[in-house]
Structure 1
Amino acid sequence: MLKKIITLSCVLFSVVTLQAREPEAQTINHMEIATIMYYDGKYDKALEELQMAKDSHTKIEWDKYHNMRGLIFLKNENYDSSISAFKKAIIATQQKSYTPPVEEKPKREYLFSAFSSKKKEEASVVKKPAFDPEKLRKEQIEEIYIYLSQAYYKAEQYINAVHALDAAGEKGRARASLFTLRAECYWKADQKGAAIDALSRGAKLFPDDAMLLKQKFYYFAELKLYQASIAAAKAYMKKLPANAQEYISLAQMLQSGGESEEAIKVLEEAKLKFPSSAKVYILLGHYYNQKDMPHVTADLFEKGSLYNPNYLKEAAEMYRRNGELAHALYLNSMMTDKEEKTKQKVAIFIGKGEFEKIIGIKDALDRYGLLQNDNMRYALAYAYYMVKDYDSAEAHLKKIEDDELFSKSTVIRKNIEKCRSNSLECI
């Protein structure tokens, strides 16, 4: 009997306990769920949870509620709603009552003397910093202003974004990236001087940050202040070893600004630092070609093609134009693009006067569809004319539709008639 009573008591205790816990189990913290949904990237679900938190009539932290909505709208690119939410979050934070955390029983750390035979016990209480609600309020508001500046920037309200960064106080000046954001806002608002000043102020606070100098370099370049741009670029390259592409960008900027000599100097330096960068050789070659230095250009193009065979065509073409046809043909032989290779080979054979070889690759011209190009068909017709195969020459000349080439073909056809009438005309 006693055993039954004990068993029944245990069952009744379990039921009472479950009933006592049931309301607690039904309490759902929608704010916490919304936070989880946000970090999982489920923004619509997060908004739904926030709405349920608002509708639950339970006490919620409105600063966190509005701040979370602002972040979600920012992610969803709904910038006006994001701005509105962050403003409400700031007001809610200003009105918030901060309560100190629940005091825990002070923990004692016991220190023992290694030289004491009795190991006397000394107690030292770990001291916590004093609770400062205004400090917490200030830090939270500054953080929201950082988010607000991002929303303003995305909404293209650039000066408002700057004001938000200023309102963020210490947090608005805590990272170099915030000064690049400030500068970009001023730049897009057409306040160029303020943009460069923002970068200069950032550089004083973060002297080791290279990105501030890099951005200043691009701004000076757009303002066509090339000497200042070069100085900024060199300072940037000292702090952070530049890659080949950054040298190329600097050279292109200088070239577009009419500073061709400076552009060449930059690329010559890049050639020494990055001897396997094909782009450096090719761009440098183009700049020398603009200065009527075709032989230097051809050599640079060939060196570039050693590191990227896609430049073989340009290298071979440059040698062909320089009259170095044997070397042009050698480079052409290494090309893998059959169509471009055949097309270029025709031009080289014409330069060498080897018309029989052009006729010899007729099948290749036809196979790659190159005879659909009137220039290629005219070259083949001309080759037939030069070897005195007049019937074949005329057959191809008749198919030419280009007006300018048709006029040239008319002259050749007249010459063919003369040759047929009097073979001595074509000796």
Structure 2
Amino acid sequence: MISNKLQCKKSLNDFCKKTILTTLSLLVLLNVSSYAKTIDDSVDHIGLATMMIYDARYKKAKEELDLVDKKSPKFDAANYYTVLGVYNSKLTNTKEAIEAYKKAIEATKTKEFLAPKVITQEKYLFSIASSKKEENTTPKFDTEAKRQDKIEQLYMYLTQEYYKLKDYKNTVDSLQNAGERGKSRAGLYTLRAECYYKQAKHSETFTALNEGIKRFPDDSKLLKQKFYYFADLKLYQAAIDASKVYMDKVGVSSKEYVALAQMLIGANQIDSAIALLEEAKLMFAKDAKIGILLGHMYLKKDMKNTTAHLFEESSYYDKQYLKDAVEMNRRAGNNLHALYLNTQNIDKVEKLKQKIAIYLNAGEYRKIIGLQKALKRYKMLDDENLRYALAYSYYSVGDYENSESHLKYISDSELFSKATVIRKNIEKCTNDSMECL
């Protein structure tokens, strides 16, 4: 009996222990669950999404944004849509980014901005004992200034997105709405001008550039852009004037003169290009490229002797132009001077080629024949033009056999046609010597 009672008591105790443990477990679980819910409500998902975007963890950022409770009384729509806009911008979802930024702007207009908490230092005994009244140096928080600053920043974000879509009108409008932020850098004025120019609003283009130049007088890029627009509109004198203002600011450079001259040449403004290059040549007498470019302009006017002189002058400062000087003197009929310049050429193959061209020009066929050994030595007869020149020289002095010996190697279609004419003439001369008198 006693044993049964003890057993029963023991069972009851075990049951009680189990019941108590179960109850405690439930209470713990309930408390943990309640605590977890409290923690979850306090998680800054928008802040975490911002950090994820910064670390380029875009998938995780989207997961955090999806966890934001938009129905919560603490929901910060302005901040949420700003971060959502940045997220879409990073993923080049441009249209979605624009929509998000627009919502952020509207939310910012009604958002309540709170002054940041000011952390005050503890006062020590000596400061308490001081009779001097402590002044409050904390600046007054300007809610509207803060709101305006946020809105302007959002319009700057919109500017970037609209430009990606080549929506130039809304790009400019966003810049205007960005207030002082949209005017804070010279590059923003070049952006304005570019957008106006893309819309063929040329008056607004130059107004934007002029405003930028006035606001940022030390920035030369605005002047350079002005020059390019004038050039593109074929306003060449205005382009030249703008270019000179630009060069005065950055320092006169021969490269800038050459670039400007090439622009005029491309527009077939030969006289203007010559005038500009003559001016440049006075300033940069030793710049070979200016002389060569100027020479080419005079050649367009068929002024071969002037061109020959300019090419030779340029060759004094840069030997790579020596062959051009030789060739131009040959074309101008200055054969003796061309031969003189040719003697200065250290490239033996090029020198021999030009010498043959000069002798052909002067009708000195026997001198060409005299160069046959040199042509063979440098393996230059593989060039069919030179072989044809040698064949023609033999034909011209009446040595038909040697002429034929070289003509048979001609395979080039154009030269072959000429060789055929020579062969027919040789045949006529052979049949009737009176034909070749």
Verify same fold: TM over 0.5.
yes
In structure 1, what is the equivalent of residue 369 of structure 2? Answer: 356
Deviations 1:284-327 (CA, angstroms, capped at 9, x unpaired): 11112223322222232233344444433322221221233354
SS at match of 2:281: helix
In structure 2, what is the equivalent of residue 15 of structure 1? Answer: none
In structure 2, what is the equivalent of residue 135 of structure 1? Answer: 145
Query: What amino acid maps onto 1:33 in structure 2?
Result: M
Question: Which of 27, 30, 36 is the matching residue for 2:48?
Answer: 30
Query: What amino acid maps onto 1:135 in structure 2?
Result: A
Superposed, 1:2-17 pairs within 5 Å as none
In structure 2, distance between residues paired with 1:82 and 1:99: 27
Superposed, 1:116-265 pairs within 5 Å as 127-257=137-267, 259-265=269-275
With over 3 angstroms needed to count, the CA separation of the structure-2 counterparts of 1:126 and 1:363, relative to structure 1, is: farther
In structure 2, distance between residues paired with 1:55 and 1:129: 38
Deviations 1:84-111 (CA, angstroms, capped at 9, x unpaired): 3433443443354322222121699xxx
User: Do 1:385 and 1:393's aligned partners in 2 also have CA atoms closer than 8 Å?
Assistant: yes
SS at match of 1:170: helix
User: Do 1:247 and 1:267's aligned partners in 2 also have CA atoms closer than 8 Å?
Assistant: yes
In structure 2, distance between residues paired with 1:345 and 1:57: 85
Question: Which of 99, 113, 137 is the matching residue for 1:84?
Answer: 99
Superposed, 1:243-322 pairs within 5 Å as 243-257=253-267, 259-322=269-332
In structure 2, what is the equivalent of residue 93 of structure 1? Answer: 108
Deviations 1:114-143 (CA, angstroms, capped at 9, x unpaired): xxxxxx998986834321232122112212
Among the aligned pairs, what percent are the same residue? 45
Query: What amino acid maps onto 2:250 in structure 1?
Result: L
In structure 2, what is the equivalent of residue 52 of structure 1? Answer: 63
With over 3 angstroms needed to count, the CA separation of the structure-2 counterparts of 1:139 and 1:320, relative to structure 1, is: same
SS at match of 1:101: coil
SS at match of 1:131: coil
With over 3 angstroms needed to count, the CA separation of the structure-2 counterparts of 1:386 and 1:180, relative to structure 1, is: same
Query: What amino acid maps onto 1:155 in structure 2?
Result: L
In structure 2, distance between residues paired with 1:68 and 1:235: 45
Which sections of structure 2, spanning at least 5 residues, go unmatched?
1-38, 124-129
In structure 1, distance between residues paired with 2:282 and 2:245: 19
Deviations 1:147-173 (CA, angstroms, capped at 9, x unpaired): 322222232111111111111112112
**Alignment length, in residue pairs?**
384
Q: CA offset at residue 176 of structure 1?
A: 2.2
Which sections of structure 1, spanning at least 5 residues, go unmatched?
1-22, 38-44, 109-119
With over 3 angstroms needed to count, the CA separation of the structure-2 counterparts of 1:400 and 1:123, relative to structure 1, is: farther
User: Do 1:62 and 1:89's aligned partners in 2 also have CA atoms closer than 8 Å?
Assistant: yes
Q: CA offset at residue 48 of structure 1?
A: 2.3
Deviations 1:191-243 (CA, angstroms, capped at 9, x unpaired): 22221222223233333433222222222222222332232222222222243
Structure 2 length-normalised TM: 0.73
Q: CA offset at residue 181 of structure 1?
A: 1.0
2:333 matches 1:323: yes
Structure 1 length-normalised TM: 0.75
RMSD: 3.8
In structure 2, distance between residues paired with 1:331 and 1:72: 69
Query: What amino acid maps onto 1:99 in structure 2?
Result: L
User: Do 2:392 and 2:403's aligned partners in 1 also have CA atoms closer than 8 Å?
Assistant: yes
